[in-house]
Amino acid sequence: EVQLVESGGGLVQPGGSLRLSCAASGFSFSSWVMTWVRQVPGKGLEWISSISGGGDTTYYADSVKGRFTVSRDNSKNTLYLQMNSLRAEDTAMYYCGKGSSYSISWQSHWGQGTLVSVSS
């Protein structure tokens, strides 16, 4: 059974940093594109970043480019999102999603999410 478990969310001040993790199990982690999607409470879904199975190719939304960095440790079956220079508008629930073997994909499975609040 595919399982994705996010962690690392919390309250952080504007300009601060946070690192999210997504622990994966139940599938061959290194074979699949992984994605981060966020959702402001009460609003829609926003794709923010994807990373190839090998970790050598990354993609970012303009809203986070230069501030967020996606990475993965295939030996630990874990996906990461390093978030720097956080802003109030980054406040959201952050979900990780499992893609496919293609470079761009839908998300077949999702974690339960981790909440990030940026406030002074």
Partner 1 sequence: DIQMTQSPSSLSASVGNRVTITCRASQGISTWLAWYQQKPEKAPKSLIYAASSLQSGVPSRFSGSGSGTDFTLTISSLQPEDFATYYCQQYNSYPVTFGGGTKVEI
Residues that bind partner 1 (CB under 8 A): 35, 37, 44-47, 50, 59, 61-62, 95, 104-113
Judged by beta carbon, residue 73 or residue 106, the one nearer partner 1 is: 106
Q: Whose CA is closest to 108, among 94, 96, 116, 90?
A: 96
CB of 13 to partner 1, least distance (A): 26
CB of 103 to partner 1, least distance (A): 9
CB of 109 to partner 1, least distance (A): 7
Judged by beta carbon, residue 30 or residue 115, the one nearer partner 1 is: 115
Residues near 64 by Cβ (< 8 Å), separated by ≥ 6?
Answer: 48, 49, 83, 90
Judged by beta carbon, residue 4 or residue 118, the one nearer partner 1 is: 4
Which residues are bridge partners to 53 per DSSP?
none
